[in-house]
Amino acid sequence: MTIGRFAPSPSGRMHLGNLFTALLAWLSVRAKGGKMLLRIEDLDPDRSKQEYIDALRDDLSWLGLWWDEEMPLQSTRSERYAEAFDRLPTYPCYCSRSELHVASAPHMSDGKLIYAGTCRDLSEEERKTKTRNPAWRVRVPDRTITFTDGVFGLQRENLAEECGDFIVRRSDGVYAYQLAVVCDDADGGLTEVVRGCDLMDSTPRQIWLYETLGLPVPQFYHVPLLVAPDGKRLSKREKSLDMSHLRGRFQPETLIGYLACLAGLIAKPVPVKAAELIEVFSWNKIGKEPITVKTLL
């Protein structure tokens, strides 16, 4: 049976780009008669807010994107993450480079630094001289991970060269997104993961974690990004495209119709219910190119 998920982060209201991904994730599961789970990714205590958790559930319901079960909140799962962490080849890293955002999914615009390996081979003696609480990194092998994305086709990445050892636990004890998401998706029995293509380069790291932890790897579908006319990613900063504004201006069917038209599922942006799109949905209709949002409706 197909099992998919919504995995929103409660660090703000959902915006148009999140809705686009949520709609495609939902349609993919419903078109296969599968089960849809909701998982609120409140991993980072500094960025998650209860008001956004409530709003996420309410916004998805308002859009007609219902789910079958809700998964446990990430903030309740640290024992599970700790158990997985203990089975990984980790080492303490004392570098002071910012690790703050590793509990959030790294979107492409965040840039990517390849860790130079400074703390990789410190001796016990050298470790003892450090005063800072360490973050923990995993020692990645010199291995190329390949996978076939359901939209973008064959992908490959050499972990050592293109990624480097990555953080799985922050110095304050918060587990990183990369580790948490793998444990959660595996424990939920997820068979597919649909998310924005700016998370594509997290996938090889996650596949390696699945394999190292002996967990089954789901099918990945990375969906094209919505961009502004200048080609830049629509960001959460554009308040007019977040749900607090969108819900004031539009009916759910109008928004769904608009998104379905952007996705190429219908020819014109006419109002439509999410459930009415199930029969026209196919991954073959979803292109790879970024989708420009010219004017909103």
Residue numbers of the site for ligand GLU (CB under 6 A)? 7-9, 41, 105, 181, 195, 199
Place of tokens 């789970």: 37
Give least dist CB 185 to ligand GLU, A.
Answer: 8
Return the ∠ at Cα 65 (arms to 251 and 189), rounded to 5°. 165
Whether the CA torsion 120, 77, 218, 278 is positive or negative: it is negative
Separation between Cα atoms, residue 265 and residue 242, nearest integer Å:
23
> In angstroms, what is the minimal distance from the CB of 177 to ligand GLU?
7
Question: Residue 170 or 195: which CB sits closer to ligand GLU?
Answer: 195
Residue 181's nearest CA partner among 215, 156, 147, 158 is 215
> 181 vs 263, which CB is nearer to ligand GLU?
181
> Which residue, 226 or 266, is less far from ligand GLU as judged by CB?
226
Please give the residue whose beta carbon sits closest to ligand GLU in the complex: 195
Query: Hey, what's the torsion of the CAs at 152, 158, 160, 164, to 10 degrees?
Result: -10
Instruction: Name the minimum Å distance from CB 70 to ligand GLU.
Output: 15
Smallest gap, in angstroms, from Cβ of residue 122 to ligand GLU? 32
User: How remote is the C-alpha of 232 from its chain's centroid?
Assistant: 19
Is residue 241 within 8 Å of 15, Cβ to Cβ?
Answer: yes
Beta-sheet strand order (sheet of 90-93): 90-93, 135-138, 166-169
Instruction: Please give the sequence-ordered ranges of beta strands (E in DSSP) within the chain, or none if there are none.
Output: 3-6, 35-38, 69-70, 90-93, 135-138, 144-149, 153-158, 166-169, 192-196, 219-223, 226-227, 291-292
Of residues 30 and 195, the one with the C-beta less far from ligand GLU: 195
Tell me the closest approach of the beta carbon of residue 154 to ligand GLU, in angstroms: 20
In terms of CB distance, is 40 or 293 closer to ligand GLU? Answer: 40
- Which residue lies nearer to ligand GLU by CB, 181 or 272? 181
Please report how close the Cβ of residue 221 comes to ligand GLU at its closest, in angstroms: 11
